[in-house]
Amino acid sequence: MKLDTPIKRMIKPVILILGAIISFILNYYQIGLLIILIFLIDNFYQLSIFWKKDMDEKNLIKEIDNAITDNLEANLIIPIALMDQQGNIKWNNSMMNEIKSGDNLVDSNILSIARGIDIEKIRESTNETHQRLILNNKVYDVYSNKVDYKKDLFLIYFNSVDESKDKKKTNESVMLIEIDNISEALDTVEENLRPLIVAEIEQKLNSYGNRIEAMIKKYDKNKYILSVLDKYIDQEIESKFTILEEISKICKGNKLEITLSIGVGRGALTPNENYKFAVIAKELALGRGGDQVVVKNNDDIKIFGGNSKEIEKRTRVRARVVSHALKELIYESDNVFIVGHKNLDMDCFGSALALSTIVKKLGKKRSIVLGNDTFAIQPFFSKIKELEEYNDLFTTYEKAYKEITDNSLVIIVDVHNRNYVGNLDFVENAKRKVIIDHHRRSTDIVGDALLNYIEVYASSTSEMITEIIQYILDKPSVSVIEAEGLLAGIYMDTKGFSFKTGVRTFDAASFLRRMGAETTEVKKLFTDNLDEFIQIAETIKSAKIKNSTAIAVAPNNSNTVIVAKSADELLNITGILAAFVVCDINGDIYISARSVGDINVQIVLESLGGGGHLNIAGVKISDKSVDEVLVMLKDAIEKYLKVGE
């Protein structure tokens, strides 16, 4: 058994004292005196060692203190402490107060200051040791060294990771520029004018690069990379990136306005990390419809621009590629769960219903997971529940939690923002996820998706699902009621084919009509009863108009359908370019916004935590009154209009 040092120290004097006592008892006085003499000599020797050791330790501490005091910078930069083998602090500099405030930390134990530090590791190591600790919500790299001429003393110093990064981070940003619609714009002009447009774009971008003293390199027909000093990016942020407007003013006979998507990465430790930030930022700009700049500084994201309408992409290449990828993911899954957003609407539900049929035809078990927020789809949902073929289709989140496996696939339709998915916990617990959505990309996107199909140019998710059906199935077909569900989704999001309607929208509607969808049946799904009509009329009556923008308040506890329809109806009034309807529903404040396109309601409501499209957006705000939200909304509108000027 290994004895502790204090016990070992007691053995020798105890033996000597016992020996002396026994000698005197047995009348061996000379031997007893000899033993006492040996005891006194040994104690004097041990005492001299202790005095010497104590003086050496004091001298060492004094030398360190003098050295640190002479070097004022070292005393101010990082916390430093000297400790013994038991972790008791023998000396510390003034910066240790950053970790634990106190007039005197000497003789206190290091564990009382830096809980989690491994004293045993420090004591046993012959080289420098390193540990990472979180102290007072800050991350520290803790290093230790043995003091050379005293093995039982250790120098500990704490280096703040955050401060280290601030000191080392690069002062250059990476900018990626992509021309959004060069092909579409060139298609609108005569062939002899196309080189002039391309030349003017290049001239303006190169001039812009020279103006901000950037290294600029064209690496594709419509893509550029720039390396820029941070100070110039700060200037661009201040001026709201005027290059967007300069490019949009190019007019050489082109009928389409030319726009840019720009991603800026900054604030990282290396240029490569800044480049990765810039890639993410540009993808976000493209996913939000282009014509904007996204600046990513670590976790901080700023967005500028985004005031133009999205231009429809006529190519179906991406739809075909996504369809094949989705097909493979479904085949590889045990079962498939389809989820939508809170407060289901016909675009979300119609898409989910048709998608469930695709999964079934591919031979996999499928479920549509529903909450209690089905009011807006009740007319259609009631018809579905009467059909026997859909008896096993719908489930609750409680049941889905029990059935989901690591190899299940969760398909999220008509939403990608974490704050608006039907059940965030269920979605985040899923190992395998797919997102299919048409809303402008949010910064708060559901993470770790195997496949992101966010097509901001599409009129609706129903349009996207209709295209997928035609590529994913060998014999594309859906039932009549499923076709009507999809057509209802398109009809709703395009406001009767009057908003954001492109060639592909009509192609999708044509396919659904061939599948038997009746437009009259679709129209019936959106009719109002008398009570709803009266509530809409009361809401419109409350509207106040300023700067061609109407703000109305719906009666308390109206439903979200009334709020949305009221906003739609306000746009039918001459002189109103944008409409915002506010309503208190069960303690939460809802805002539904519509625009004819001159005012970007998405940007307005994004500042309040919402999202959507340029001409359709919404937000839910908790813990505020209607009056407080009205003040916030008016401020957001004024700020948007001021920036626009």
- Note the pLDDT tens digit of each residue in 310-352: 666 656 778 898 999 999 999 999 999 999 999 899 999 999 9
With 80 as the cut, is the pLDDT of residue 559 above it? yes
* pLDDT given at position 632: 95
The reply, when asked if residue 438 is annotated as ligand binding, is yes
Q: Which of 339, 344, 477 is nearest to 400 (CA)?
A: 339
**Helices of type H across 144-215:** 161-168, 182-186, 194-211
Highest mean pLDDT (candidates 112-116, 290-294, 580-584): 580-584
Q: What is the tens place of the pLDDT at every residue in 187-224?
A: 888 888 899 999 999 999 999 999 999 999 999 999 99
With 90 as the cut, is the pLDDT of residue 502 above it? no
Mean pLDDT of the chain: 85
pLDDT band with cut points at 50, 70 and 90 for residue 55:
low
Contact 539, 554 (CB under 8 A): yes
Would you call 473 helix, strand, or coil by DSSP? coil
With 90 as the cut, is the pLDDT of residue 381 above it? yes
* pLDDT given at position 396: 95
Of 49-58, 437-446, 587-596, give the lowest mean pLDDT range: 49-58
With 60 as the cut, is the pLDDT of residue 630 above it? yes
Q: Which residues contact 240 (CB under 8 A, 6 or more apart)?
A: 304, 305, 643
* pLDDT given at position 83: 85
Q: What is the tens place of the pLDDT at every residue in 219-261?
A: 999 999 999 999 999 999 999 899 999 999 998 888 888 999 9
Contact 226, 219 (CB under 8 A): no
The reply, when asked if residue 324 is annotated as ligand binding, is no
What are φ and ψ of residue 304, in 5° steps? -130, 145
* pLDDT given at position 139: 79
Beta bridge partners of 135: 138
**Helices of type H across 434-529:** 461-472, 480-493, 503-514, 519-524
Q: Which residues contact 537 (CB under 8 A, 6 or more apart)?
A: none
The reply, when asked if residue 162 is annotated as ligand binding, is no
With 50 as the cut, is the pLDDT of residue 2 above it? no
DSSP assigned state of 311: P
**How far is 263 from 287, CA to CA, in rounded Å?**
12
With 50 as the cut, is the pLDDT of residue 1 above it? no
**How far is 411 from 15, CA to CA, in rounded Å?**
81
With 50 as the cut, is the pLDDT of residue 71 above it? no
With 80 as the cut, is the pLDDT of residue 23 above it? no
Of 212-216, 371-375, 570-574, give the lowest mean pLDDT range: 371-375
Q: Which residues contact 329 (CB under 8 A, 6 or more apart)?
A: 409, 432, 434, 450, 451
For a pLDDT cut of 70, what percent of the chain falls above it? Answer: 84
The reply, when asked if residue 414 is annotated as ligand binding, is yes
Calculate mean pLDDT across residues 456-460: 89
**How far is 512 from 481, CA to CA, in rounded Å?**
10
* pLDDT given at position 333: 94
Please tell me which residue, 169 or 185, carries the higher pLDDT value: 185
pLDDT band with cut points at 50, 70 and 90 for residue 14:
low
* pLDDT given at position 58: 60
* pLDDT given at position 255: 85
Conformation bin of residue 107: beta by default, left when phi > 0, alpha when psi is -120 to 50: left
Calculate mean pLDDT across residues 271-296: 89
Calculate mean pLDDT across residues 133-154: 75
pLDDT band with cut points at 50, 70 and 90 for residue 73:
very low
* pLDDT given at position 619: 92
Please tell me which residue, 400 or 184, carries the higher pLDDT value: 400
Calculate mean pLDDT across residues 422-440: 93
* pLDDT given at position 109: 86
**How far is 467 from 502, CA to CA, in rounded Å?**
14
Half-sphere exposure of 542 (CA within 13 A, CB side): 19
With 80 as the cut, is the pLDDT of residue 506 above it? yes
pTM of the model: 0.64
How many other CB atoms are found less than 10 A from the CB of residue 356? Answer: 21
Calculate mean pLDDT across residues 63-86: 63
Please tell me which residue, 443 or 427, carries the higher pLDDT value: 427
* pLDDT given at position 153: 81
Of 46-60, 334-348, 554-568, give the lowest mean pLDDT range: 46-60
Contact 471, 373 (CB under 8 A): no
Residues in the chain: 645
Calculate mean pLDDT across residues 291-310: 82
pLDDT band with cut points at 50, 70 and 90 for residue 75:
very low
The reply, when asked if residue 588 is annotated as ligand binding, is no
